[in-house]
Amino acid sequence: MTVTVGQLAELVHGEVLGDGDLIIAAARPAADAQPGEIPFIKDGKHTQLHQQCRASTAVLPPSVAPNGRSLIRVDDPLDAFVTIVRHLHCRPEPAPHGIDKLAAVHSSARIGSDPSIFPFAVIGEESVLGSGCRIHSGAVVGRFFLIVDDVTLYPNSVLYDNTVIGDRTIIHANAVIGADGFGYRLQNGRHVKVPQLGHVEIGADVEVGACSTIDRGTFQATRIGDGAKIDNLVMIAHNCQVGRHNLLISQIGIAGSSTTGDYVVIAGQAGIVGHVHIGDRAVVGAQAGVTKDVAAGERVLGSPAAPERDMKRTLMSLEKLPEFRRDLRKIKQHLGIKDEE
Amino acid sequence: MTVTVGQLAELVHGEVLGDGDLIIAAARPAADAQPGEIPFIKDGKHTQLHQQCRASTAVLPPSVAPNGRSLIRVDDPLDAFVTIVRHLHCRPEPAPHGIDKLAAVHSSARIGSDPSIFPFAVIGEESVLGSGCRIHSGAVVGRFFLIVDDVTLYPNSVLYDNTVIGDRTIIHANAVIGADGFGYRLQNGRHVKVPQLGHVEIGADVEVGACSTIDRGTFQATRIGDGAKIDNLVMIAHNCQVGRHNLLISQIGIAGSSTTGDYVVIAGQAGIVGHVHIGDRAVVGAQAGVTKDVAAGERVLGSPAAPERDMKRTLMSLEKLPEFRRDLRKIKQHLGIKDEE
Amino acid sequence: MTVTVGQLAELVHGEVLGDGDLIIAAARPAADAQPGEIPFIKDGKHTQLHQQCRASTAVLPPSVAPNGRSLIRVDDPLDAFVTIVRHLHCRPEPAPHGIDKLAAVHSSARIGSDPSIFPFAVIGEESVLGSGCRIHSGAVVGRFFLIVDDVTLYPNSVLYDNTVIGDRTIIHANAVIGADGFGYRLQNGRHVKVPQLGHVEIGADVEVGACSTIDRGTFQATRIGDGAKIDNLVMIAHNCQVGRHNLLISQIGIAGSSTTGDYVVIAGQAGIVGHVHIGDRAVVGAQAGVTKDVAAGERVLGSPAAPERDMKRTLMSLEKLPEFRRDLRKIKQHLGIKDEE
């Protein structure tokens, strides 16, 4: 498929500066785009990338100066570029699939309008799905499940019994929601399982990444607030209460009964011990190990985690350690202090 | 469903102190319980929680003083509370499901009495399952598999060929048992796969968490001892020999050929290098990086891991580093020692 | 099954030294092998193991001296031992399974010769598979997928739409290829999803471990080079470009848009931030946290990662910290310098 710069500008309600008749064959990131292709430049920080770009044209915000070639001016270049990529490269979204005859939907389950339930998906007893749900192949929805509208469960994701999921939430492939919490007590030399009788409640507009796990509560709900975004391979343990609009990056773990406020960011591979609270808008650095409460708005780093300023000072001192060592030796020599044997 | 305090006491063989006719509508953790609800208090450490609790009654051990409201006295309040939660909130366990007509059971497989094999579960050639097994939807059991009685495989868990599993073991959703170990050798500039011809043997009363992976041995069995409890997203590499009654917390990794004794605890996100031994009852701290053997009973922390006492001393000194730096500067000034350029 | 040492020697084109008529019943690693069994000794480093081994015979390279018992001399003992283990213990590979009647293959998909497509596997619209592919139970291949010859997808692995996979590549159980990258932007207090319109391209001879996840690019391909070997529970984020013949050990994570050269090794649980480059043949230590580019051939350790030599010096100094502290106190005392209050 090829189109002109002018046609693309019309598609994204942008303004053409320069030659609108140029033929465009592909949309690509600015670093890769070639003549005959169109990239986008997000903002003024990427002006240099734009100057060096070999593409015939670009989608630009008003803050970026032209580079002499034709361009499409828009207020939101990312949004416009998404539209262009979809137009040039993506197939249209297929119509609702209906309930595939190879799916296993329990006779007592209730399914809303316009469903897409693919082969080998399973919907358990008395589960209720809202309208427009996409349950991909092999996804397993347990018994007494409740999801509202426009939810997507990608292939082979598993939702144990009694899970509740809000509107527009997306669960990626092989994620597991509602497995038993890790609770035992030692009796006569054996770890005896504490039955995990709670469930998981996930809010609206949440996204859960591939192979992430959110365990059910012991006697209550493990909760994920509206708008939280959870990356791949994340572990959220039983009884945790995650606030709204959190960003939980890949491979982090939150141990049992910990809670986060709203707009918390936890960077990759960090770990949070159990029974602590991370305040609103706090930021936990990558690979940090949080062992106690973090105040609202605080930024912590390191393992054990400490406020960013303290940790940076410690890290700087750490680099100086070999130098300290030489200094100490010199001073002791100077003073005639001998090392103890 | 509502019941009286007296009826609940009878259910858990407890003694009522106060008003046995109070109506109870829900069981909830003490921090959340409201009037008309029942919580439990585990032990004397939670006496304050009990004093502040708004619930009408509680399940208490003899060690906790009454708070003026009615109560149910029992020796094991957790056990009693589990019974009460089940009674008030949980649906009865369904009867064995039988072999679903949508499951794929190989004609040569042997299945014990009272099976529950759900839609799209797969049982491979010549596999043998004991009695009372629950093989949930999409779980895949390879060829020549052997499990004994009362085993639960949650949805979409995968057990490669030749896996052996002991009585009452539970494998959670999307866990993978018996994938190839990570073994290669460099030949002519390529990493050539060393065939992984071993298998995995898991003992009795083991629990393996969601999305955990236990790789098969190269020429032998990777083994997990009886009673070991493994959390979510744990990696156990080829040829490892895990002892009995270990607790392996979420996101830990044990590299190839390492071994653990009995009652070892490895806390979240810790890593163990290959070919080391962790002795009986040793405890490895969260995010620790173990690079050598750990003696029986030892507690190690940090990366690289060191005995807890040493590591705590180092961490304390670490916090003092900026102070050391100031001291050194002061001393050098005092002595007229100049920094080298 | 039992065979003689002579028969095994013939099987592996080796030379018998000693009694070729000994009966061998099992092949086992040298540390475990008993009389009547056969182990292998890889090279001269394991001579002592050979001396102590109780087995009746062994497969040895020319570099290892006999221990007085009969032996089979070969140039490549690992290769010979694999052949022997397969002969003694392994069942023959089954013939191609064909397309199982319980699989869901879209009518528009094209399947090459000699396929093995097992029950409940799904092959999406317009997908193309080469010859000799093994698509195990519950594996889900999305739409517009392209794989070439001799590819293995283990049970319940998931490949989203538009994935491309090269010859002989192996994807282990529950791995997820092509889930959405973790891309959002904050608009009016909400994290709004940036559509992830790219895909994943995996080269030839790649192996991806169980429960690993490789996310699709935003507007381009996330790429994995030929011959790369990826262990279990690894996270590779959107837009990453992994070079050829990398070894990426278990539980590592590479954040968005980072790139690696050829023959890079990243050890277990290490993390790489986004937008950095790891040069050819660089080695990243276990649990390291890489925050900036790593030069070709460099070895880095620690979090934040530093060149191995610097980090080892820092670690050595770190152990001396309590001693530094005592020294400083002594010097200050000597000089009459008082601590500030």
Q: What is the pLDDT of residue C73?
A: 96
Classify each residue of A265-298 as buried b or exposed e, where b means 16 or more C-beta atoms within 10 Å of its C-beta: bbbbbbbbbeebbbbebbbbbbbbbbeeebeeeb
Residues in Cβ contact with C172 at an 8 Å cutoff, skipping those fewer than 6 apart:
B176, B179, B180, C154, C157, C207, C208, C209, C210, C212, C232
Is residue B104 less than 8 Å (CB to CB) from chain A?
no
Q: What is the 3-state secondary structure (H, E, C) of chain C?
A: CCEEHHHHHHHCCCEEECCCCCEECEECCCCCCCCCEECECCCHHHHHHHHHCCCCCCEECCCCCCCCCCEEECCCHHHHHHHHHHHHHCCCCCCCCEECCCCEECCCCEECCCCEECCCCEECCCCEECCCCEECCCCEECCCCEECCCCEECCCCEECCCCEECCCCEECCCCEECCCCCCEEEECCEEEECCCCCEEEECCCCEECCCCEECCCCCCEEEECCCCEECCCCEECCCCEECCCCEECCCCEECCCCEECCCCEECCCCEECCCCEECCCCEECCCCEECCCECCCCEEECCCCEEHHHHHHHHHHHHCHHHHHHHHHHHHHHHCCCCCC
A67 shares contact with chain C (CB less than 8 Å): no
Kindly state whether A284 is in contact with chain B, defined as any CB-CB distance less than 8 angstroms. Answer: no
The CA-CA-CA angle for residues C119, C121, C231, to 5°, reads: 115
Which entry of B46, B136, B199, B238 is annotated as an active-site residue?
B238
Please tell me which residue of chain A has the smallest CA distance to B172: A179
For position A83, what pLDDT does the model report?
96
- Residue A315 pLDDT class (50, 70, 90 cuts): confident
Cα end-to-end distance, chain A, whole Å: 81
What is the CB neighbour count within 10 angstroms for residue C63?
Answer: 12
Q: State the nearest Cα–Cα gap between B327 and chain C, in angstroms.
A: 8
C112 inside 8 A of chain B by CB: no
Least confident of A62-76, A229-243, B266-280: A62-76
pLDDT at A341 over 60: no
d(CA B256, CA B196): 12
Q: pLDDT, tens digit, for every residue of C307-336?
A: 999 998 888 888 888 888 888 888 888 888
Residue-range domain boundaries for chain B? 3-89, 98-309
Mean pLDDT of C93-121: 96
Q: Is domain C98-309 classified as CATH 2.160.10.10? A: yes
- pLDDT classification of C21: cutoffs 50, 70, 90: very high
Chains near B (3 or more Cβ pairs under 8 Å):
A, C
State the residue for tokens 């979409």.
B156
ipTM: 0.95
- Write out the catalytic residue numbers of C: 238
Cβ within 8 Å, pair B190-C227: yes
The answer for residues whose C-beta is within 8 angstroms of residue A341's C-beta and 6 or more apart is none
Residue stretches of chain B with pLDDT short of 70: 339-341
Q: How far is CA A307 from CA A116, A264, A312, C131, C187, in A?
A: 48, 15, 9, 57, 28
- pLDDT greater than 70 at residue C340: no
- Split at pLDDT 50, 70, 90, the class of C341 is very low
Q: Is B174 close to C172, i.e. CB distance below 8 A?
A: no
Which two structure tokens, joined as six digits, stand for B325? 């730096």
> Which partners does chain A have (≥3 C-beta pairs < 8 Å)?
B, C
Question: Per CATH, the architecture of C3-89 is what?
Answer: 3-Layer(aba) Sandwich (3.40)
Q: How does residue A340 score in pLDDT terms, banded at 50, 70 and 90?
A: low
pLDDT at C47: 86
State mean pLDDT over A102-110: 97
